Chains A and B, each alone.
Chain A
Amino acid sequence: MDALSGLLTGFAVILTVQNLYLCFLGSLIGTLVGVLPGVGPLAALALLLPVTFTMSPVGGMVMLASIFYGAMYGGSTTSVLLNIPGEAASVVTCIDGHQMARQGRAGAALGIAAIGSFIAGTLGVVVMTFFAPAIAAAAIRFGPPENFGLMVLGLVCTLFMISGSAVKGVLMVALGFLTAAVGIDVVNGRERFTFGSVDLSGGVELLAVVIGLFGVAEVLVNVETLTPSTLLAERITGLWPTLADWRASWRAMLRGSGLGFILGLVPGGGPVTASFMSYALEKRVSPHPERFGKGAIEGVAGPESANNAAVAGSLIPVLSLGIPSNPVTALLLGALIIHGIQPGPLFMTQRPDLFWGIVASMYVGNVFLLVLNLPLVGLWAQLLRIPYRVLFPIVLLLSVVGTYSANKNVFDLWVMLGFGVAGYGLRKLEYDLAPFVIAFVLAPLLEQSLRQSLVMSPDGAMILLQRPVTAFLLAASAVLVVLMFRKSKPGGGSK
C-alpha cells in the first residue's frame, strides 16, 4: 500500500463519530495536561491507558497519541502566563514567552506558539506519512539478530542523549532489564525473581512503574516547595500575530520544524531536547542575540514548533520499527502490546487500519488543537487559577485509580508507591529515569530477539557478527558507547 492510499484508508478509519470524538477528547485532555503544571503527558497517558482497554485499538491509540501531541500545545500557556512550564518541553518558552507577557504581549506569544505548533505538527505528520512506510519497508526483512541490533542501538542512542552521568544511565538501563525479568519466563514457564509471590508471578506492572516514577515522584518533588505563582494577563487579546511578528517568526518556525523532526527520530531525543536545541539555534543564527531573554518572539516560535515536530518524528521509530525513542513512546509501545498488537516492521502491513488511522488522526488532531488553543486560550488561562494544593491530591487519587484498574490488584498500589519514592530519591541524586522506562518496555522484546538469535545459530553469539546489518548496528552502538564515555567527565560525571 503506497502512502497516499494508506492515508485515504486512515481517513476512512478516523472519520467516524466515535474516533473523531476520541481524537477530540484526547486533544482536550492533552491541552489540559499541558496547561496544568505538575501533570506531564507521560503520567496522563499512564493514568488513562486502562480507560482504553474497553475501546477498539484504533480508538484507544488515537486518544493516547492525541494526548501526547496535545500536551505540547498546552504547555506554552503556563510558560507564558505563569513563568512555570506546563510540561518539560515548554521550559524554554518561559524565557522569552513570559517576558513578552510582562511587556503586555501575552496574546502574541500564545498566538505564535499555537500557530507554530500547528504548522510544525502538520509538517511533521506530512513527512511521517511518506517516511514511516519507507523505513518499515526496509526493515521488513529484519530477523531476530537485526531486531536485537536495532534495539541495542536505540538504547545506546538514548544513553548518548541523556544529560547526566553516562554510568548512571547505563545502570538505569540494566535496572530496567532486571525489573522486567521479574515474573514467568514466557519461553519455558519458569519463575524468575518472584520469590514465591503470586503477585510477582505476572511481572511488575508497567502502569504502576510509570505512574510511580512520573506521577507520584513528580508530586513528591512539587510538594517539597509549594510556592504561589502570579498569573499575568487577566484577559488575553491580540492573539493573531502582526506582520512584524510573522516576519520575525516564520524562519524560526521552519527551522524548529526541521530540527524537531530530526531530533524526534533519534532515540533519546524527543520534544524536550528539540525545544532546547531550537532555542540555542535561534539565538545563534539571530543577528540580535541580545534580544533573547528579553521577549524575542523567535525564542517562542522556534522551540514551540520544534517540540511539536518532534512528536511526529518520535512516533516514526515506534510505529515503523517498534523502537521507542522516549518514555512516552515507550508507553505507547506498551499500550500496543496490551491491546494485543505486535509492534515492529510488520505492524504497518498487518494492521494498516491502525497505523494509518493514527497518522490520519494527527492531521485532524492538529486542527482540533489549533481551535482549542486559539479561541479558547482564555479558558485555559482561567484554569491556571486552580492552586496546586487542590490539584495534587486529585492527581494522586487518579494515580491510584489508574494503577488499580490495570489488574484490579492492590499489590500494584504498593509497587506504585515504591517506585514513586525510589523515583523521587533517584531524581534527587541526578539519575535520569527515562532510560529505565525505555529499557523496561523493550526488555521482553530484546530478550526474545537475543534468545531466538542464539537458538537459530550453530555458532552461538557469533551470529550477531556474521549478519552484516546486525554487525553494523552493533558496531555503531560500540562507537557511540566510546564517544559517550569520552564525552563524560572522569568517573562518569556529567557531560
Chain B
Amino acid sequence: MLERALNAFWILLGAAAAAYAWTLGIVGPSGPESGLFPLIASLIILSAGVVLLVRPPARLAAPEPLPAAALARIGGVVAGLAVMAIGMPYLGFAVAGAITMIILLRTVERTSWAGSIALAVISVAAVLWLFGHGLGMVLPRGPWGF
C-alpha cells in the first residue's frame, strides 16, 4: 500500500516538474534553455513511476510494521533534530545542542536525567572545543554569549 502510494507520488512529481520545466523553455534561438535538462529528468521520473505502478516488482517491498518502542525512538531522533534546527538561531549551538542531546538520550535510550545532562554537557563542550576553538568554525551563539 505504502509503495503504491509512493509510486503514485512519483507520477505526480514527474508530471508537475515536467509542466514547470516546460515553462522555463526547452530550446531557444541560442540553443538549449533552462528547462531542457529538468524536463528530461521529470519525464524519466514520470515514466518510472508509471512502470512501477502498472507493473510492480514481483515482490513488493513491504517493511514490517515497527513496534511502538522503535517508532518512539525514531520520532525522538527526528524531534531532537527539529528542535536543534528551530532553536539554534535563538539559543545558540551550545544550548540547542545540549537540549537536543537530552531529548535523544531520554527518548531513545531512556538514560537517567543526571546521566543525560552530564553526557549532553560533555559532548557539546567537546564539539564546541574541537570545531569552534580547534578548527576555527563559527557556530551560532545565543544571548548568553556562547
Contacts and interface: CB of A to CB of B under 8 A. Distances in A.
A382 B60 CA distance: 42
A405 B66 contact: no
B68 interface: no
Given A401-B127, A454-B32, A171 B48 contact: yes
Interface in A136-182: 165, 167-168, 170-171, 173-175, 177-178, 181
Nearest to B55: A491
Interface string A421-436: 1001000111000000
Interface string A404-433: 110010100110110011001000111000
A190 B36 CA distance: 13
A476 interface: no
B63 A187 contact: no
Contacts of B104: 392-393, 396
Interface size class of A (residues with CB under 8 A): 35 or more
Contacts, number: 187
Contact of A394 (B6, B35, B76, B123): B123
B24 A192 contact: yes
Interface in A434-460: 443, 446-447, 450-451, 454-455
Nearest to B110: A389
Contacts of A60: none
A405 B34 contact: no
Interface string B67-79: 0001001101110
Contact of B82 (A50, A173, A224, A417): A417
Interface residues of B, number: 68
B31 interface: yes
A401 B45 contact: no
B95 interface: no
A193 interface: yes
A491 B32 CA distance: 34
A413 B45 CA distance: 26
Nearest to A439: B41
B119 interface: yes
Contacts of B21: 192
7 contacts: A177-B44, A216-B81, A392-B77, A417-B78, A430-B61, A491-B52, A491-B58
